[in-house]
């Protein structure tokens, strides 16, 4: 995540808990409660439960500072691998939980399926573009939403252009959908449960081990997470250890699978919101090839779209967590170069996510938990794009974390 999410009141003493933002906390919790009641009445109890799951995801992401963008950036720039190791733990727990149920195709009597998309050129290109956008925009898909909920005014700009990029990709669907690609491949179905599970666990262990080796080579040992906090963990007020966040995200993604019949996703809602907005401006998105096979969401209320409901719930959950931590303090003065980066990064995020059939959640987290081959193309391509984005950040006046080298002076 970007370091510009929120501002901490200057009157707080170091190490002491900040006072609750009572009004903001009350409003956010009230909106979550009212939204759940509305969805239960107008859509279904499952939709209301997914709204609550979305809110819990927002709280977890905020309290654990579980951003993918900063974790990748500090590893590229400074070889600090705590964030990456937390991601590997999350994925390992996730595949052990998801694969058995995806293999049998049911969970608690409901049919379930994963996000399995065609691996091909569009995935590689889209993920690479998305990776650049992560670093310029200041967040990934989940990071953008929880930062908006956390009070980051800059990330509102990123989110707006994220939606714009998604609409542009929907407009260009006929081009990128014809790029060379294989048929969708589920490793769980192609290899069987145990070979797929053991292969995934071996790769996660190898990646985590590599981060340890490279971090020790750079620093002489393992260093702490770059968040720089020594406050004791608090369940309701944060901050949380990364391990807590990893476990909670897996559990909540599994809850999504149980309730929705498929894993957690984020960015399909952005294409929907943007297309609905384009329709209000006189466009006819129902005629676009992107929506031709399934135009129903364009005319249905947003409350019926699972991803939209969870995204809005996530923002409110992050807002509640920010208020509980006493850190809701939006900053309205943002440097012009940073705003340009947010706009450019947002467009790259939106366009890239659609080309790659998902973002860091739908294609990476949930894609790997789904056993999809396309997720294993997405990861290295997005990481390469993110590495390029790290080196572009200073051009826009954006910081890159790096530990100073020891000096003999």
Question: What's the number of CA atoms in the CB half-sphere (13 Å) around residue 54?
Answer: 28
Is residue 253 situated within a structural domain? yes
Is residue 333 situated within a structural domain? no
CA-CA distance, 265 to 369, in Å (whole number)? 12
Q: What is the pTM of this model?
A: 0.92
Question: What's the number of CA atoms in the CB half-sphere (13 Å) around residue 301?
Answer: 8
Residue 409 has pLDDT above 60, yes or no: no
Instruction: Convert 277-288 to b/e letters by CB count within 10 Å (16 or more is b).
Output: ebeeeeeebeeb
pLDDT (average), residues 143-157? 93
Q: What pLDDT does 11 receive?
A: 41
Burial of residue 34 (CB within 10 Å: 0-12, 13-18, 19+) is exposed
Is residue 3 situated within a structural domain? no
Burial of residue 232 (CB within 10 Å: 0-12, 13-18, 19+) is exposed
Q: What pLDDT does 17 receive?
A: 66
CA-CA distance, 394 to 269, in Å (whole number)? 31
Q: What pLDDT does 63 receive?
A: 94
Local confidence band at 293 (pLDDT 50, 70, 90 cut-offs) = confident
The answer to whether 171 and 178 have CB atoms below 8 angstroms apart is no
Phi and psi angles of residue 284, each rounded to the nearest 5 degrees, phi first: -125, 75
Six token digits for residue 164:
């714009």
Q: Helix, strand, coil % (nearest 5) of the chain?
A: 65, 0, 30
Six token digits for residue 247:
């476990």
Q: What pLDDT does 16 receive?
A: 58
Residues in the chain: 409
Q: What pLDDT does 232 receive?
A: 67
Is residue 397 situated within a structural domain? no
- Work out the widest C-alpha separation in the chain, in whole angstroms: 68
Dump the DSSP string for 108-166.
Answer: TTEE--------BHHHHHHHHHHHHHHHHHTS-HHHHHHHHHTT-HHHHHHHHHHHHHH
Is residue 232 situated within a structural domain? no
Residues 311-347: tens digit of each pLDDT: 999 999 999 999 999 988 887 888 999 999 999 999 9
Quote the mean pLDDT of the chain.
91
Q: Which residue has the higher pLDDT, 225 or 251?
A: 251
Count structural domains, the chain.
1
Residues 193-244: tens digit of each pLDDT: 999 999 999 999 999 999 999 999 999 999 865 444 456 678 888 799 999 9
Give the range of the structural domain holding residue 73, as residue numbers without chain letter.
22-223+240-327+339-392
Is residue 231 situated within a structural domain? no
Q: For residues 218, 214, 135 and 247, what is the CA-based torsion angle, rounded to 10 degrees?
A: -120
What is the number of other CB atoms lying within 10 angstroms of the CB of residue 300?
11
- Residue 18 vs residues 26, 130, 327: alpha-carbon distances, Å: 17, 35, 7
Q: Which residue has the higher pLDDT, 230 or 409?
A: 230
Residue 170 has pLDDT above 70, yes or no: yes
The answer to whether 95 and 201 have CB atoms below 8 angstroms apart is yes
Burial of residue 394 (CB within 10 Å: 0-12, 13-18, 19+) is exposed
pLDDT (average), residues 232-260? 92
Percent of the residues in the chain that have a pLDDT greater than 90, as a whole number: 83
* Host H or E run for residue 106: strand 106-107
pLDDT (average), residues 101-116? 94
Q: What pLDDT does 223 receive?
A: 87
Q: What pLDDT does 235 receive?
A: 83
Percent of the residues in the chain that have a pLDDT greater than 70, as a whole number: 92
Phi and psi angles of residue 151, each rounded to the nearest 5 degrees, phi first: 100, 15
Residues 4-49: tens digit of each pLDDT: 333 333 344 445 567 888 999 999 999 999 999 999 999 999 999 9
The answer to whether 92 and 250 have CB atoms below 8 angstroms apart is no
What is the number of other CB atoms lying within 10 angstroms of the CB of residue 348?
26
Q: Name the DSSP class of 183.
A: P
Q: Name the DSSP class of 225.
A: -
Cis peptide before 239 (omega within 30 of 0): yes
Is residue 233 situated within a structural domain? no
Residues 353-397: tens digit of each pLDDT: 999 999 999 999 999 999 999 999 999 999 999 999 999 999 999
Q: Which of 335, 332, 336, 338 is nearest to 392 (CA)?
A: 338
Q: What pLDDT does 401 receive?
A: 85
The answer to whether 353 and 359 have CB atoms below 8 angstroms apart is yes
Strand partners, 110: 107
Question: What's the number of CA atoms in the CB half-sphere (13 Å) around residue 396?
Answer: 23
Phi and psi angles of residue 173, each rounded to the nearest 5 degrees, phi first: -55, -40
Residues 29-40: tens digit of each pLDDT: 999 999 999 999
Is residue 38 situated within a structural domain? yes
């Amino acid at each position: 995540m970007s370091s510009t999410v929120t501002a901490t009141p200057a009157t707080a003493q170091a190490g002491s808990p900040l006072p609750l933002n009572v009004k903001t906390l009350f409003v956010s919790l009230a909106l979550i409660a009212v939204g759940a009641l509305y969805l239960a009445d107008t859509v279904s109890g499952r939709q209301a439960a997914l709204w609550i799951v979305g809110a819990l995801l927002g709280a977890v992401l905020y309290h654990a500072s579980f951003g993918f963008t900063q974790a990748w950036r500090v590893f590229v720039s400074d070889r600090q691998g705590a964030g990456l190791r937390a991601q590997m733990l999350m994925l390992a727990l996730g595949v052990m939980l998801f694969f058995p149920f995806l293999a049998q195709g049911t969970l608690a009597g409901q049919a379930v399926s994963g996000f399995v998309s065609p691996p091909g050129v569009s995935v590689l290109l889209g993920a690479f573009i998305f990776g650049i956008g992560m670093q310029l925009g200041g967040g990934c898909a989940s990071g953008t939403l929880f930062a908006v909920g956390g009070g980051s005014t800059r990330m509102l700009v990123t989110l707006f252009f994220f939606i714009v990029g998604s609409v542009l990709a929907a407009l260009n669907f006929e081009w990128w959908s014809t790029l060379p690609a294989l048929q969708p491949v589920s490793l769980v179905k192609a290899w069987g449960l145990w070979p797929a599970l053991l292969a995934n666990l071996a790769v996660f262990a190898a990646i985590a081990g590599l981060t340890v080796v490279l971090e020790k080579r750079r620093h002489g040992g393992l260093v702490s997470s770059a968040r720089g906090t020594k406050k004791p963990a608090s369940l309701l007020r944060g901050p949380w250890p990364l391990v807590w966040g990893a476990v909670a995200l897996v559990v909540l993604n599994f809850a999504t699978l149980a309730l929705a019949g498929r894993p957690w996703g984020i960015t399909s809602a952005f294409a929907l919101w943007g297309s609905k907005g384009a329709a209000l401006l006189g466009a006819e998105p129902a005629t676009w090839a992107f929506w031709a096979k399934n135009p129903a969401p364009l005319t249905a209320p947003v409350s019926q779209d699972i991803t939209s409901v969870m995204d809005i719930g996530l923002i409110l959950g992050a807002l509640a967590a920010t208020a509980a931590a006493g850190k809701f303090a939006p900053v309205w003065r943002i440097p012009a170069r940073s705003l340009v980066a947010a706009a450019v990064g947002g467009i790259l995020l939106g366009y890239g996510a659609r080309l790659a059939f998902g973002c860091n959640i739908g294609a990476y987290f949930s894609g790997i938990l789904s056993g999809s081959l396309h997720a294993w193309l997405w990861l290295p391509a997005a990481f390469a794009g993110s590495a390029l984005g790290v080196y572009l950040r200073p051009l826009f006046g954006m910081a890159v974390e790096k530990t100073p080298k020891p000096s003999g002076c």
